[in-house]
Amino acid sequence: MSALLEVQDLRVTFGGTAAVRGASMAVAKGETHCLVGESGCGKSVTSLAIMGLLARGGKREASALRFAGQEIGGFNEREMSRLRGDRMAMIFQEPMTSLNPAYTVGSQMTEVLRRHRGATRAQAVDRAAELLGRVGITAPGLRLGQFPHQLSGGLRQRVMIAMALMCDPELLIADEPTTALDVTVQAQILRLLAGLQRDLGLGILLITHDLGVVARIADRVSVMYAGEVVESAPTAELFGNPRHPYTRGLLACVPVPGKVKRGDRLGSIPGVVPRIPPGFAGCAFRDRCNHAHAACTGPIPRKQAGPGHEVLCTLDLAA
């Protein structure tokens, strides 16, 4: 099956800082691919680079950036904006900052359809109301006339999702869509996303730092560290058989009810995510790694650790 989104060797630099250093990933139709990592690892920049939304000063290079079989790496802004919001849509973490506070929910939602599809106002309003119902909002007519500040956080995020779905996108990129929400609402929103995906066959690239979210919703996981994908595997494989020391460290940091007793020390990773200077060679994790040895300063091999399981490490960490 050909991938819906295919990214090969993506590199993003901001001036002298390399934010993404050769990341590759693919999202198939109907698949949820989670990109997980700590702040500063380049996961958000990766998603913005794919959408062509890098801030000024950001430079993107990739040996391939294909969407539905078409190379979009060379697209200009006009061609990209035709694609964005239409065939590929994005939801951000904080719906309060990504919704325009000066316009009603209805006018923001209908704009997408009118602009991309040339729909009439009435058609667009019907579609918006239908989608608000779809994402579990009761009284859609009322909500369409309201402003973002009149909605709760959970409702706003539902509005964002409904807005992203206006043009029936094939790919949805969601950057920390539930991080700002209460756990109860988070569960509801994630269930909603999973249901929509099942019904509409969406491909989802979900960016998160929360391993709990990853475990429950992802089909495939890529772990990013300092701008590189250090490990990528199907979800059960990644959690059951993590190979990279960073992945193992991350998993040990999360308190799991019933597994780590109160008073036991949690695993932690010493140090902080380093800033990577241009021309850096070797493994970026080596200064924090218990297993670091001489070879870690040289080129790091990308190894096959199982079916669909890749790891970027000099070690041969057995299961």
Partner 1 sequence: MTPAIEVRDLRRIFNVRQGLFAPPRQVRAVDGVSFAVPPGSVLGVVGESGCGKSTLARMILGLLPPTSGEVLVDGQRLSNMDRKARARLIQPVFQDPFSSLNPRRRVQDIVAMPLVAQGDIDRATVARRVGEALERVGLSAEQGGRFPSQLSGGQRQRVAIARALVLRPRIVICDEPTSALDVSVQAQILNLLDELRRDLGLTYLFISHNLAVVEHVASEVAVMYLGRIVERQESEALFHNPRHPYTQALLASVLTPEPGLGVPDVGLGDIMPDPANVPPGCRFHPRCPKVFAPCATQAPRPTAFAAGLVECHLEG
Q: Which residues bind partner 1 (CB under 8 A)?
A: 38-39, 136-138, 152-155, 182-188, 190-191, 194, 209-218, 235-236, 238-240, 249-258, 260, 262-263, 265-270, 272
- The 8-class DSSP code of residue 294 comes to G
Q: What's the rounded Cα separation, in Å, for the pair 193 and 62?
A: 29
Cβ of residue 311: shortest distance to partner 1, in angstroms? 18
Q: How far is the CB of 155 from partner 1 (least distance, A)?
A: 8
- Are residues 314 and 282 in contact, defined by beta-carbon separation less than 8 angstroms? no
Report yes or no: 253 and 266 within 8 Å, Cβ to Cβ.
yes
- Report the residue number, 8 or 188, with the smaller CB distance to partner 1: 188
Q: Which two tokens stand for residue 292?
A: 């670091």
Our CB check for partner 1 shows the closer of 42 and 85 to be: 42
Q: Which is nearer to partner 1, 276 or 295 (CB)?
A: 276
Q: How far is the CB of 17 from partner 1 (least distance, A)?
A: 16
DSSP secondary structure letters along 201-267: --EEEEEES-HHHHHHH-SEEEEEETTEEEEEEEHHHHHHS--SHHHHHHHHHS--TTTSPTTSPPP
Cβ distance to partner 1 smaller for residue 145 or 255: 255
Nearest distance in Å: CB 192, partner 1: 9
CA angle centred on 44, ends 102 and 53, rounded to 5° = 60
Task: Give dist(CA 304, CA 306) in Å, integer.
Answer: 6
Residue 237 to residue 275: CA distance in whole angstroms:
30
**How many C-beta atoms lie closer than 10 Å to residue 12's C-beta?**
22
Cβ of residue 220: shortest distance to partner 1, in angstroms? 11
Nearer to partner 1, 64 or 236 (CB): 236
What is the distance between the alpha carbons of residues 312 and 243, in angstroms, rounded to a whole number?
Answer: 9
- 67/79 Cα distance (integer angstroms): 13
**Choice between 240 and 298, CB closer to partner 1:** 240
Instruction: Report, in Å, the least distance between residue 215 CB and partner 1.
Output: 4
Pairing of strands 228-234, 309-312: antiparallel
**Nearest distance from residue 216's CB to partner 1, in Å?**
5
Q: Which is nearer to partner 1, 187 or 315 (CB)?
A: 187
